[in-house]
Each structure stands twice: as structure tokens, then as C-alpha cells.
Amino acid sequence: MNRKGFTLIELLVVVAILGILMVAVVLAINPVDMMKKGRDSTRLSDMDTVRKAIDLAVADGATLTTTTSAGDSTTGTRVTTGTGWVSVAVSKYLATLPIDPKNNVSFADAAGNTVTGKYLYFSDGSGYELNCYLESTDNVTKYTTDGGNGTTIYEVGTDPGLDLM
């Protein structure tokens, strides 16, 4: 009598091999790091969007006012009328101000520091700076190549060297 099929041992070997392959794929993909990179991509895009909106508003005649403390996405509102966390009216260019993907939540940034997720805005009346923290260690070089003077925060704007923190 010829019985066709697989033995229990053969099936267990195949399941073990598939399990090992799945673990290898998960380790290669590193979903935690992929999530960090995704949030950083959002942060970099948000910084660029807000920067462009402020630049367009200033080109249209809006004035930069000196800020004595940082506009902060964790405590300020998202309104674009100049009373949100950015003190320039950008409602012509943005429907709402963005907030950090981990707004008001602590995490380890790209440099290994424990920080709170937030976007910051500063102005000295003639220039402005937008700041955020990045998570992925792949982005740690952006802290020192963004044109700003901070080595533990990402800075963009017309004057990313403002030292108002």
C-alpha cells in the first residue's frame, strides 16, 4: 500500500524553516526604525511646508515680530492667523499648522537624548527659525548640516542660527 503525503517531521521542518525566514525578514526590515524614519520624514516635510508658508507670507508683506519665548506646538494652537504656535499669519498658505507626530510625548532623538516631540518657532524680528527633534539615527547628521548652530536639534528658516532657546 502506497500512501502519499508528508510525515509530521517533514511538516515541522518546513514550519521551522519558514519561522527562521520570517524572523530574518523582520530583523532586516526593522519595523521600529522604519517607523522612526517615517515620523522623521513627516517632521522634515512639515518644517519645509511651514518655512515656505512663512517665506510667502513675508514676501506678501507680513512682518516678523520678535518672540520672547518659543512658539511651541505642544502648548500653542494650530491656527494660522498668527496667534498659533507660529506668530506669522500664514492662513493664505496653510489651512492649519502641523504638529509633531509625537507631539508632547518623550522619546530618544537621533543623538540619543530624551526629548519631547514638538515643533518650535523663534523670531528676532528680522529672521526666524523653526526647530524639531529627529528620531532616526540615520538623521543625526542633519543636526550639524542644517545651517543652524544647534548640534542636538534640527533648525531651518531665514536665520537658523538664532539662539533663543
Question: Looking at residue 26, what is its pLDDT?
Answer: 79
CA distance 3 to 157: 75
CB atoms inside a 10 Å sphere around CB 140: 15
Write out the three cell numbers for 12: 515541522
Question: Looking at residue 164, what is its pLDDT?
Answer: 57
Smallest Cα–Cα separation from 66: which of 155, 159, 133? 159
Question: Looking at residue 128, what is its pLDDT?
Answer: 95
- E strand or H helix at 24: helix 8-29
Write out the three cell numbers for 120: 518650535
* Residues 48, 49, 55, 58, CA torsion sign: negative
| E strand spans, 74-137 | 106-108, 114-116, 119-123, 128-132
- Show pLDDT as tens, one digit a residue, over the chain (165 residues): 677 788 889 899 999 999 999 988 877 888 889 999 999 999 999 999 999 999 999 999 999 988 888 899 999 999 999 999 999 999 999 999 999 999 999 999 988 899 999 999 999 999 999 999 999 999 989 988 998 888 889 999 998 877 655
Question: Looking at residue 52, what is its pLDDT?
Answer: 97
* Residues 45, 47, 51, 53, CA torsion sign: positive
CA distance 87 to 49: 15
pTM over 0.85? The answer is: no
Question: Looking at residue 111, what is its pLDDT?
Answer: 87
CA distance 9 to 56: 69
